Structure 1
Amino acid sequence: MDKIQVGIVGTGIYLPKDIMTAREISKATKGVWSEPAVIDKLGIIQKTIPSKDPKKDGTQEMGALAALDALKNTGIDPLEIDVILSITEEWKEYPLTTSALYIQDRIGALNAWGIDVQNRCCTTVSAMKMAKDMLVADDEINVVMVVGGYRNGDFVDYADKDMSMMFNLGAGGGAIILKKNYGKNSLLGSHIIADGSLSRTAGVAIGGICNPITPANVDEAKKSLRLLDPV
């Protein structure tokens, strides 16, 4: 049997119109970071931020808009898509809803099934590996879309100097379409390693089972991305 090749057909993107500049980030840190330091040390000149209208730049919706852009750029019929691997973040319009299925319905990919993949900054890499493995292993899968939206920057507390490595978190959506035996743009391979001992080093401190939102902490919860277990 000939070796199965998996290629990237094309991509799509969605970026909100609103931006936050290095000067605005500096101001939000209350002088801890100067504008030149934000630019030179953190590498941020400006970043996209979501509209205040959650329906316009919701996490799932931004993923759907990126998916539509990918379909436009590639000429792929949404009915050709067999699987949608959603890399949409957990911070989304409504908790416990399946982002892959929202996007499936939104773009008209009626023949596709989908699942949500969560691995923070490694989600896209993980989903690409999963997509290739599925395309190689399953005769019934020929086209996979990896797609998602992101706006975890909502949780950044710019007054927390320990979280400066998160100041770059912005907002947007991206999509990648992969096809079996496409013939070019080959996904050659991947290898993933993990260290579970760091799984709770950073995260949103308020809003989960261990520390639910209450009337007393509701304001803090909105900006509670923290180092939970500093290394």
Structure 2
Amino acid sequence: MGFRIVGTGSYLPEKILTNFDLEKMVDTSDEWIRERTGIRERRIASPQEAASDLGVRASQKALQMAGISPEDLDLIVVATITPDMFFPSTACFIQQKLGAKNAAAFDISAACSGFIYGLVVVNGLIHCGKFKRILLVAAETLSKITDWEDRSTCVLLGDGAGACVIVPHNEKTLLSYTLGADGNCGHLLFIPGGGSRLPATEETVRNKKHFLKMKGNELFKIAVRVLAESALKVIKEAGISPEDISLFIPHQANWRIMKACAQKIGLPLEKIYVTVDRYGNTSAATIPIALDEAVREGKVNRGDILLLDAFGGGLTWGACILKW
């Protein structure tokens, strides 16, 4: 048994923060940001918007496309590193706001790889035969964990959410996948404070321990290598060639990483679906946002072969081949 994605949705907050806005906040420039990242602007959640609020808006669009009511859902899975609270899970908040009273709910924490991790988990649960209508959501409010005085990170990040409704299907959609992690490199991308290792105190707040920390140069080199290796692995396992891929939807962290990865795989750049220029890095949400846009623009059709590829904090990574 396989699955089929019968509905997609995405939501981006109304507020747009451009590179020119950032020029007034930190020592940077539009040219510097665009040349190094490909980003022109990003979306920022309002003070009243939490991750679940973004996730609900994306979920409603996905449910509408699928023609499924919230009461029909039997499972909600949410990928996020910016949950509303430590607990209850963001999935439980989304369940409550949607009115999905019959759905079980839990979160996944795999940073930027969260959506692909989620797809693999959902695939396994569908194979068990217990769940029939699953909502997979990735929702992030990275602006709330961003140090807006740190130009090395604040120019990269944005907020947004994407969602998919997934149901069992006789034909196989997930042709191949790979997941990986390397905790030895966790120090390259992390938030030091707020957990049981370093609980919140006046000192941790004063010393900015609750903001995202990143060693970008080291991450860049690892990301290009791992993304390309993962992509080539799933292409081989699916029994296809790069030429068979209709659309490449990588994690939207940096245009230079995406471009280098495509070149290593042997894909023409026009096969990359790009949102990083408009939304920046929205962590787990980048791939489902891009997927929803591509579907609604008619760039994804039944029978198309899609390559999804992600890399993020943990370190974690994942890639998969989908037959739409």
What is the match of residue 206 of structure 1? 193
Aligned to 1:70: 62
**2:16 equivalent to 1:19:** yes
Aligned 8 A contact 1:129 1:189 in 2 = no
SS in 1 for 2:24: helix
**Contact 1:14–1:66 (Cα < 8 Å) also in 2:** yes
Q: Which of the residues 121, 126, 143 maps onto 1:135?
A: 126
Task: Give yes or no for contact 1:87–1:149 (8 Å, CA) kept in 2.
Answer: yes
**Where does structure 2 lack aligned partners over 5 or more consecutive residues?**
219-324
TM-score computed with the length of structure 1 as normaliser: 0.83
Q: Equivalents in 2 of 1:60, 1:194: separation in Å?
A: 26
Task: Give distance in 2, aligned partners of 1:160 and 1:48.
Answer: 18
The structural deviation recorded for 1:76 is 1.2
2-structure distance, mates of 1:79, 1:158: 40
SS at match of 2:47: coil
CA distance in 1, matches of 2:169, 2:204: 53
Shift of 1:133: 1.3
Measured in 1, the distance between the counterparts of 2:71 and 2:214 equals 43
Gaps of 5+ in 1: none
Letter in 2 for 1:101: C
Relative to structure 1, the CA distance from residue 115 to residue 226 in structure 2 (aligned partners, 3 Å threshold; closer, same or farther) is: same
SS at match of 1:62: helix
Matches within 5 A, 1:91-102: 91-102=82-93
> Are 1:181 and 2:201 an aligned pair?
no
Change (3 A) 1:140 1:214: closer
1:164-179 equivalent positions in 2, closer than 5 A: 164=153, 167-179=155-167
Aligned mates of 2:5, 2:175 — CA distance in 1: 11
Higher helix share: 2
Spell out the pairing of 1:74-85 with structure 2 (5 A cutoff).
74-85=66-77
Matches within 5 A, 1:24-173: 24-30=21-27, 33-53=28-48, 57-89=49-81, 91-136=82-127, 138-161=128-151, 163-164=152-153, 167-173=155-161
What's the CA shift for 1:188? 2.4
Alpha-carbon deviation of 1:112?
1.3
Residues 207-222 of structure 1: pairs in structure 2 closer than 5 A: 207-221=194-208
Change (3 A) 1:189 1:78: farther
Q: When you count strand as a share of all residues, which structure comes out higher?
A: 2
1:196 corresponds to 2:183: yes
- Structure 2 distance, partners of 1:95, 1:193, is 25
The answer as to whether partners of 2:110 and 2:117 remain within 8 angstroms in 1 is: yes
**SS across alignment from 1:12:** strand
Q: Are residues 220 and 48 of structure 1, via their aligned partners in 2, closer, same or farther at CA, if it must alter by over 3 Å?
A: farther
Distance 1:50 1:220, change over 3 A: farther
1-side partners of 2:104 and 2:205: how far apart?
37
Code of the residue aligned with 2:55 in structure 1: it is: G
Count of residues in Structure 1 that have an aligned counterpart in Structure 2: 218
